Structure 1
Amino acid sequence: MKTDYFIRCYKEGDEIQINDHFNEIFNEKRSLQEWEWKFKRSPVSDLNLIIVAEAAGKIVGHYASIPMILHCMGERIMVVQPVDTFVHPDYRGTKVLVEMSRRHEDVYLERGYIGGFGFPNRQAYVVGKRILKYADLFKLSELSYRLNLRQSFKYRFKHLPASLEKTIQKASSKYYSISLSRQQHELGVIDGYTFDQCVDDLWNRVCGHFPILCVRDLPYLRWRYLSVPSKEYHVVAVGKGEEVNGYLVYTIREMEETVEGVIVDCLWEDDAALRALVMAALGRLSEEGVDYALFRVNKATALYEVITELGFSGEGNRAEVPVVYYFAKSHAALENAVRDPSLWYFTYGDSDGI
């Protein structure tokens, strides 16, 4: 392993090398525009949280975070979420990673952050637990809801003709869509909703209903779901009169064998709004020919009970996603809260993975 490197903070123009290495190491095709959206355009962006290792004028390591603002029992707390960590193959080993993480910690403490939360993949989880002092908070369970019978027929009848498979998908999707549309709710779906001042009003009304969650105000939501390059999100909102009583965000991804509708974010005023949102989203996903709707939830919360009552299940051996944390500075409320998973509300959209 080479040792001819030094650790420094980000400087303007580093993003070209950072993004090139990211795409090469993670086999991605992320554009510079998406890097800029992620690290520069957030309402709380902080480029000081990007640390690199440099050798002979080349970036050989990267340890960065994006800021997160937690609403914790009425208090706003600044934390970070580590993302896109990599080390060039010639410099792999724990030394570069540890030195970058220590510099990163020094910087974020100086800037008022108290620690970090993350949603690591398997490899990052193992490294984080072994080297970076990650502690387990809980796991997000991925629940699914079947929206047509195509996959069932494919499983039971091998070599199903493509034309018949398509017919089964269309016919069963239509059946599910009609069935879902018959559900009666007090709140109406707001057609063509895009985030406006009403969602700030919703946030101010309901943030106290959730002991701990990431801030979901208007600037954040517009940045996270309406301005991201190369990704498309769909918003469902319900309300009565001029008031928005809840929103839900989903995206559709086409896998090799299935089409999945992923619910990435949701905020609601009461159970009636939550049920109306989920059923409206399921109806739309069914109309678009989606095979399954997916929802990542914390089993310790009341949300899990409502979602499973509506028909979501954990069948299919879908992987659970670990949520981890690390505190570099003492904070009594958070240190007590990590002992009780039911206090926390995280969604797929709180991570940078979708």
Structure 2
Amino acid sequence: MNDANTAKPEWSVREYLEGDEEGILELRGIALSGSKNRQWWDWQFKNGPAGPANIWLAVAGQKIIGQNAQIPLPMKIGEQICKGSIAVDVITHPDYQRQGIQNAIRKQLFDSNRGKGISISYGTATRNIFPLYGRMDSPYPHFNICQPALLVKIISLGKLLTSRYKIPGVASNLMDSAWARITSRTSSFKNTGIIAQQVSSFDESIDAFWQKASGIKRVMVVKNMKYLNWRYVEKPGKEYKIFIAKRNDETVGYVVLKLENNTMTRGFIVDLLALPDEDIITQMLIARAMEYFRAEGVATVLCLMLTDTPYYGILRKLGFMQRNSGLQLGTRLYDRNLPRELVTDPANWYFVWGDNDTR
């Protein structure tokens, strides 16, 4: 057999250029389930709150066969605001696996990150893949932070069992009535002066709220109006429900929700933030979320939360059960002046599903 006929074409690594979009989308369609359109791509990679993404590609001739990208985001590290990034979309064409493509791309991407002023990046991966990042030969150290907890609450036992065992509707309703009596935890918010209203977008008041609420943790994405509207309002093809908590016309918290319909309807608490040391605000926002989910016929509610956050304890008291998320949160440092002890301590981080790119 002639080896020249079976050898893979040579490939090289370069930075993204204007006009690469269709080739990248074609690669996504081949390598990943669920294709994305150009509108979505522009939203995520061109129109981010801290500028366009840093994208590096592997190409064989004119064909794009690999990609690794990071989206810049404003991040709070201690008392300073710096330029961070989230790692997304690590893609290799199936015909070019095990050729060292991603290692070659990452070396260029990481050097470029530092050159573009990115101080820190973060991301999640499944636990079987995550150790590979730490073993990479790179001058920019990678650290495992923690495994986020998956919190789950069943709010309709009847719908959950019906989706699996085809239980008749009458029996399902009886089970739901009994389940509600067992699991309900009622709280009165009538005399708190707090109201939670659904809104279509975040207004300027969220910036003043962020300045007060950011004290909850020392390492987190900046949740200002620009970021939140980009993430939850401008995103194509995803419909989020936003509830703002107010007291005397002052914004004191928010929660962002999402529905998914497969064999049953599931609800997701995608983002949650309230003024520190005021558990009643968090409790009210979660209660409002449960009210919305019940009205939508949701069977189970899911939330991703770090165990060191105050919201974790509140969710557990409200009946959420902890499950294994299978995810690992990690970070890579590009700025040697960042205090390593600060950014590697999981107790300093605030991270929710919305800070990832999968919900």
- What SS class does the counterpart of residue 183 from structure 1 fall into? coil
Q: CA deviation at 1:205?
A: 2.0
**Residues 223 and 300 of structure 1, relative CA distance in 2, 3 Å threshold:** same
1:309 matched residue in structure 2: 317
Q: CA deviation at 1:325?
A: 1.3
Q: CA deviation at 1:243?
A: 0.9
1:194 matched residue in structure 2: 201
1:74 matched residue in structure 2: 79
**Residues 80 and 191 of structure 1, relative CA distance in 2, 3 Å threshold:** closer
CA contact (8 A) 1:137 1:324 kept: yes
Q: State the distance in 2 between where 1:326 and 1:17 align.
A: 28
Deviations 1:246-274 (A, max 9, x none): 00001011133x32111111111132211
Identity of aligned residues (%): 24
1:88 matched residue in structure 2: 93
CA contact (8 A) 1:199 1:244 kept: yes
**Residues 166 and 311 of structure 1, relative CA distance in 2, 3 Å threshold:** closer
Q: CA deviation at 1:130?
A: 4.2
Q: CA deviation at 1:210?
A: 2.3
Q: TM-score under structure 2 normalisation?
A: 0.88
Find out whether 1:215 has 2:222 as its counterpart: yes
**Residues 3 and 114 of structure 1, relative CA distance in 2, 3 Å threshold:** farther
Q: Which one of the candidate residues 346, 350, 353 is aligned to 1:341?
A: 346
CA contact (8 A) 1:169 1:289 kept: no
Q: What are structure 1's unaligned runs of at least 5 residues? A: none
Moved more, 131-140 or 93-102: 131-140
Q: State the distance in 2 between where 1:192 and 1:329 align.
A: 38
Deviations 1:270-305 (A, max 9, x none): 322111111111111111111111111111222211
Find out whether 1:46 has 2:52 as its counterpart: yes
Find out whether 1:97 has 2:102 as its counterpart: yes
**Residues 352 and 172 of structure 1, relative CA distance in 2, 3 Å threshold:** farther
Q: Count how many residue pairs are aligned between Structure 1 and Structure 2.
A: 345
2:3 matched residue in structure 1: none
* 1:245-260 alignment runs, 5 A limit: 245-256=252-263, 258-260=264-266
Q: CA deviation at 1:235?
A: 0.5
Which structure carries more helix by proportion? 1
Q: CA deviation at 1:154?
A: 4.4
Deviations 1:216-270 (A, max 9, x none): 11011111000111111001111112111100001011133x3211111111113
Deviations 1:159-178 (A, max 9, x none): 523x44664587679x58x9
CA contact (8 A) 2:122 2:332 kept: yes
Q: State the distance in 1 between where 2:212 and 2:105 align.
A: 41
Q: CA deviation at 1:3?
A: 5.8
2:197 maps to a residue whose letter is: I
Q: CA deviation at 1:126?
A: 4.9
Deviations 1:68-102 (A, max 9, x none): 22112220122222211111223222522111101
1:229 matched residue in structure 2: 236
**Residues 204 and 105 of structure 1, relative CA distance in 2, 3 Å threshold:** same
Q: State the distance in 2 between where 1:197 and 1:329 align.
A: 31
Q: What are structure 2's unaligned runs of at least 5 residues? A: 1-6
Q: State the distance in 1 between where 2:73 and 2:305 align.
A: 19
Q: Which one of the candidate residues 348, 351, 358 is aligned to 1:353?
A: 358
- What SS class does the counterpart of residue 29 from structure 1 fall into? coil
Q: State the distance in 1 between where 2:198 and 2:344 align.
A: 41
Q: Which one of the candidate residues 53, 64, 67 is aligned to 1:62?
A: 67
Q: State the distance in 2 between where 1:191 and 1:82 align.
A: 31
**Residues 340 and 122 of structure 1, relative CA distance in 2, 3 Å threshold:** closer
2:126 matched residue in structure 1: 121
CA contact (8 A) 2:86 2:121 kept: yes
- What SS class does the counterpart of residue 324 from structure 1 fall into? strand
Deviations 1:303-329 (A, max 9, x none): 211221222111xx4424210112233
Find out whether 1:150 has 2:158 as its counterpart: yes
- What SS class does the counterpart of residue 205 from structure 1 fall into? helix
**Residues 244 and 183 of structure 1, relative CA distance in 2, 3 Å threshold:** same
Q: Which one of the candidate residues 281, 284, 288 is aligned to 1:276?
A: 284
What is the alpha-carbon root mean square deviation over aligned residues? Answer: 2.6
Find out whether 1:9 has 2:5 as its counterpart: no
Q: State the distance in 1 between where 2:344 and 2:87 align.
A: 22
1:213 maps to a residue whose letter is: M
Q: State the distance in 2 between where 1:29 and 1:170 align.
A: 37
1:349 maps to a residue whose letter is: G
CA contact (8 A) 1:246 1:273 kept: yes
Q: TM-score under structure 1 normalisation?
A: 0.89
Q: State the distance in 2 between where 1:169 and 1:230 align.
A: 35
**Residues 115 and 240 of structure 1, relative CA distance in 2, 3 Å threshold:** closer
**Residues 240 and 61 of structure 1, relative CA distance in 2, 3 Å threshold:** same
Point out 4+ residue stretches in structure 1 off by more than 3 angstroms.
121-124, 129-134, 151-155, 163-173, 178-183
2:4 matched residue in structure 1: none
**Residues 126 and 241 of structure 1, relative CA distance in 2, 3 Å threshold:** same
CA contact (8 A) 1:67 1:80 kept: yes
2:114 matched residue in structure 1: 109
- What SS class does the counterpart of residue 147 from structure 2 fall into? strand
Q: State the distance in 1 between where 2:117 and 2:59 align.
A: 26
